[in-house]
Amino acid sequence: MKDTTNEHHLDFVGDNLAINFINTRRMVEGQLIDTLQSDSDVKAWLMRLEVPVTKGSLPFDDGVLLKGARGLREIALAAVQDRKSRKKPSLIALNRFLADAPSHTALTTDDARNIRVTRVYGKETVEAFLAPVAEAVAHLLADGDFNLIRHCEGNACVLWFYDRTKSHRRRWCTSTGCGNRAKVAAFRARAGQI
> Given pLDDT bands bounded at 50, 70 and 90, which one contains residue 8?
confident
Q: How many CA atoms lie within 13 A of 92 on its CB side?
A: 1
Q: Beta strands of the chain (E only): which ranges?
A: 25-28, 31-34, 103-109, 115-121, 149-151, 160-162
> Given pLDDT bands bounded at 50, 70 and 90, which one contains residue 5?
very low
- Cβ-in-10-Å burial (0-12, 13-18, 19+) of 57 comes to exposed
Q: Report which of residues 147 and 124 the model is more confident about.
A: 147
Residue type, 75: I
168: pLDDT strictly greater than 90: yes
Helices (H), 26-129: 39-48, 64-84, 92-99, 126-129
Q: Report which of residues 169 and 187 the model is more confident about.
A: 169
The CA radius of gyration of the chain, in Å to the nearest whole number, is: 19
pLDDT one-digit tens code per residue, 101-110 = 888 788 888 7
CA distance 98 to 67: 16
Q: What is the mean pLDDT of the chain?
A: 87
Q: What is the largest CA-CA distance in the chain?
A: 69
147: pLDDT strictly greater than 90: yes
> Given pLDDT bands bounded at 50, 70 and 90, which one contains residue 193?
low
pLDDT of residue 194: 58
CB 51 within 8 A of CB 40: no
pLDDT-wise least confident of 39-43, 117-121, 129-133 = 117-121
